[in-house]
Amino acid sequence: MNRPPTLRDVAEKANVHTSTVSRALNERTQDMINPITVKRVRAAADALGYQPNSLARGLKTRRTLTVGMLIPDLTNPLFPPIVRGIEDRFRASDYTLLLANTDQDTSRERQIIGVMQARHVDGIIVATARREHPVLDKLQQEGMPLVLVNRVADLPVVSSVTADDHSGVGQAIRHLISLGHRRIAHVAGSQTTTTGVDRASAYRYWLEAAGIAYDEKLVTIADWFTEADGAMACQELLDRGVDFTAIVAANDLVALGCYQILRSAGRRVPQDVSVVGYNDIPFTHAFAPPLTSVRVPLYELGQKTADLMLEHIEDEAAVHTSVRLMPRLVVRESTRALTSDEVGVDEADSPAELDR
């Protein structure tokens, strides 16, 4: 055969209709076909060396089969697993993901979105985390399929995929309380982001649910979710001279910044201060000591994001959906139980039952 094999060639070899071949080779529609037929079609396609013609499909559907994605910081280890989940899902539908780094620069963000729209992307995924985001209003008004990942927006109502931060922070707080800690500090993330606000709110909720009074002196706010900003916020906590035996950090990079400052101040983790991170990004097991962290299913976050995006692309009337995935605490060596002497007589009483 001097020309590339076509869908019709595969259909003839498998002795089925071309529409059957189309469905059998698409992972999103293959369940509509008898598994034996799917196997036969795929065998025929492999034998002929058939490759789907994405350009032809795009012309037929009037789509470019591309989706843009805005990421605030490509160097953050949080994002690669999310992107991998999105790409793996898109591959099954012949979609390509176009990544762009924004550095949280609003003007750069607008410029990138303009370029993506000029290239006629079929949708845009936004991972930038500001609570107020005028660009989202504009995209929605223009009818651009839009999905947020690892964040939500105050307004407008937009489909999103996030972890259940209320539950995740609760797991961290309950773990520390079970180890005897009562003076638990929080090095929070930027309060201009939904992530920072939600985790700080959950911190307060779970302390008070345990009968532990909220103390604002035990809370500092990092300018952003980076190691350097975490270090500065932890230094501020130490400069206040308040007593604490544990820290719940806004994320793992902030926790790493806390490690740095605590070490400089001569405080050991976990002998002097227990530390819990959030997200459980790759390599937290290699921290010194290995970090106890709330594991967010990042790859699954990406997969669900891709599913929502494809749904919005294929159905303009698709309902906006908020998906929350359940995180789980991974206990490592950065937390330890206090002795009865360290807990103290007054603080040794059992906390209120955490049944919510």
Phi and psi at 49, nearest 5°, equal 70, 35
pTM across the whole model: 0.79
* Amino acid present at 271: Q
Alpha helices in the chain (DSSP H): 7-14, 18-24, 35-48, 54-61, 79-91, 106-118, 134-141, 165-178, 194-209, 227-239, 252-264, 298-314, 340-343
Q: Are 23 and 37 in contact (CB under 8 A)?
A: no
What are 99's strand-pairing partners?
Answer: 69
What are 130's strand-pairing partners?
Answer: 193
Which pair of structure tokens corresponds to residue 39? Answer: 């196997």
C-alpha distances in Å from residue 98, one per residue of 69, 79, 86, 119, 120: 6, 14, 11, 11, 12
Look-up of token digits 């209709």: 17
Q: Are 207 and 214 in contact (CB under 8 A)?
A: yes
What are 322's strand-pairing partners?
Answer: 160
3-state secondary structure at position 130: strand
Model pLDDT for residues 241-259, shown as the tens digit of each residue: 999 999 999 999 999 999 9
* Beta carbons within 10 angstroms of residue 164's beta carbon: 16
C-alpha distances in Å from residue 162, one per residue of 55, 92, 97, 132, 279: 33, 23, 19, 17, 11
Look-up of token digits 């065998």: 43
Entry field: residues in the chain: 356
C-alpha distances in Å from residue 326, one per residue of 163, 202, 296, 331, 340: 6, 15, 7, 16, 33
DSSP per residue over 315-341, as a string? -TTPPP-EEEEPPEEE--TT--PPPHH
What are 292's strand-pairing partners?
Answer: 276
Q: pLDDT tens per residue, the chain (356 residues)?
A: 567 888 788 899 999 988 888 788 877 678 888 889 999 999 998 898 887 665 555 545 567 899 999 998 888 999 999 999 999 999 888 899 999 999 888 888 889 998 998 888 999 999 976 766 677 777 877 888 999 999 887 656 789 999 999 999 999 999 999 999 999 999 999 998 889 999 999 999 999 999 999 999 999 999 999 999 999 999 999 999 999 999 999 999 999 999 999 999 999 999 999 999 999 999 999 999 999 999 999 999 999 999 999 999 988 888 888 999 999 999 999 999 999 888 764 444 444 445 43
